[in-house]
Amino acid sequence: MDDIVIVGAGIGGLTLGLALQAAGIPCKIFESAAEIRPIGVGINLLPHATKELAALGLEPALARVAIETGDATFFNRFGQLIYQEPLGRAAGYEHPQFSIHRGDLQMALLDAFQARAGHDRLVTHRHCVAVEQDETGVSVHLADGPGGANRSVVRGRVAVACDGVNSAVRKQFFPGEGEPRYSGVNMWRGVTRWKPMLSGASMVRAGWLSHGKMVIYPIRHAGEDGLQLINWVAEIETPTYRKRDWNRPGSIDDFIGAFADWHFDWLDVPAFIRAADSVLEFPMVDQDPLPRWTFGRITLLGDAAHPMVPRGSNGAGQAILDARALTSALLENESLIAALASYEKQRLEATTRIVLTNRTNPPDAILREVFQRTNDRPFGAIDDVISRDELVALSEGYKRIAGYSKDALRG
């Protein structure tokens, strides 16, 4: 009987597996997909997350495939600079901020887990359909992939659901939860091979949601052709949307009009979008925070526990922090049930704050503030619109809530 059964080999599940392996706690991961492939687009790992990954010895592997993000830079839709601040080590943090292709991150985690724990510790093509428990352990019911007819049961002492936004385990405990909450904003995501822009390690946010907003940052180093792989997200207030699916193809024609006149001295935005390798469409949705994650020997982690609007670079980071907290709780408590309860107590309130903050005041609230004060017009000087102290306060306030202020990470 494996001590810990982990459902899902995404970022949360693999990080948990690595953390448990480092702590000497046996575990086994069961993944729904038949093969783990490097899919997705870009994500950001903030210093609170890279601190935990560095503790697992992963920083060198990540540095080889990621961009060490140097600055956050905010513009209006006329290409005027609003605010710029250093990020990661450039801002005095002990650990970097990494911009990375999600697939590169997942494969780095996968390679490390299999090298350290063994290839037999991760089983693919095993889709969780239900979890049961008794006085001695849990029974995880698996099918051979989503909708698979062949069923099997795995026993363990604890089960951790890391099975993402469509978690079967979450649905089991909250069957009447309903559909995700739509923010009113739809987004299209893509990656484009392009020459380095601005510092070559900038995270750019520009425009505002009512007329069109862009988030742009490089996620792979330039190749021999001098081009970086650059991730971008287009966000627009849209009354209708389609069900969330991270891998649904999108159409450039559905949104390119909002950015048709974005010709800046540092980037021709419509040409940049049209040069994308591919485009994905995803509604900006979340779920209302749950009252609990833990039911005896079963608990939730990552997106299964706290799916949040993808703003503020916090989805993957919070899953990584969950993994650290759960591992620590298992080490500190003799009772497995007490350990899972302790993990929930530590993490539920913190992630609830971030879910709610991402709805109203994420880091790009800076763009909203300038948009409203200027009535969406060009400005003469940004100091006439908003003071630097106000801009800093908006940025630092989010860092405190999300748990990656410098003060929070000194401990």
pLDDT digits (tens, 9 = 90+) for 160-185: 999 988 899 999 999 988 778 888 89
Contacts 24+ apart (CB under 8 A), 221-230: 221/67, 222/196, 225/193, 226/195, 226/196, 227/193, 227/194, 227/195, 228/67, 228/193, 228/194, 228/195, 228/196, 228/200, 229/101, 229/191, 229/192, 229/193, 230/191, 230/192, 230/193, 230/194, 230/197, 230/272
Q: Give the span between the Cα atoms of 75 and 294, in whole angstroms.
A: 43
Q: Is residue 304 part of a domain?
A: yes
What b/e string do you get for 237-250 counting C-beta neighbours within 10 Å, with b at 16 or more?
A: bbeebeebeeeeeb
Q: For the domain that residue 115 is a member of, what is the CATH number?
A: 3.50.50.60
Q: Is residue 333 part of a domain?
A: yes
77-121: pLDDT as tens digits: 999 999 999 999 999 999 999 999 999 999 999 999 999 999 999
Residue 244 binned pLDDT confidence (cut-offs 50, 70, 90)? low
Q: Is residue 35 part of a domain?
A: yes
Question: Are residues 119 and 93 in contact, defined by beta-carbon separation less than 8 angstroms?
Answer: no
**Domain boundaries, position 114:** 2-43+101-178+289-360
Three-class HEC string of the chain: CEEEEEECCCHHHHHHHHHHHHCCCCEEEECCCCCCCCCCCEEEECHHHHHHHHHCCCHHHHHHHCEECCEEEEECCCCCEEEEEECHHHHCCCCCCEEEEHHHHHHHHHHHHHHHHCHHHEECCCEEEEEEECCCCEEEEEECCCCCCCEEEEEEEEEEECCCCCCHHHHHHCCCCCCCEEEEEEEEEEEEEECCCCCCCEEEEEEECCCEEEEEEEEECCCCCCCEEEEEEEEEECCCCCCCCCCCECCHHHCHHHHCCCECCCCEHHHHHHCEEEEEEEEEEECCCCCCCCECCEEECHHHCCCCCCCCCCHHHHHHHHHHHHHHHHHHCCCHHHHHHHHHHHHHHHHHHHHHHHHHCCCCHHHHHHHHHHCCCCCCCHHHCCCHHHHHHHHHHHHHHHCCCHHHHCC
Q: What per-residue confidence (pLDDT) applies to 52?
A: 96
Determine the average pLDDT of the residues in 42-46: 92
Q: Is residue 81 part of a domain?
A: no
Residue 190 binned pLDDT confidence (cut-offs 50, 70, 90)? very high
Q: Is residue 50 part of a domain?
A: no
Whether pTM > 0.85 for this model: the answer is: yes
1-31: pLDDT as tens digits: 468 999 999 999 999 999 999 999 999 999 9
Q: What per-residue confidence (pLDDT) applies to 410?
A: 67
Q: Is residue 351 part of a domain?
A: yes
Q: How many domains does the chain have?
A: 1
Q: Is residue 392 part of a domain?
A: no
Q: Is residue 319 part of a domain?
A: yes
343-371: pLDDT as tens digits: 999 999 999 998 888 787 777 889 999 99
Q: What per-residue confidence (pLDDT) applies to 312?
A: 66
Q: Give the span between the Cα atoms of 223 and 215, in whole angstroms.
A: 22
Say if residue 275's pLDDT is above 80.
Answer: yes
Say if residue 320's pLDDT is above 90.
Answer: yes
Determine the average pLDDT of the residues in 196-216: 96
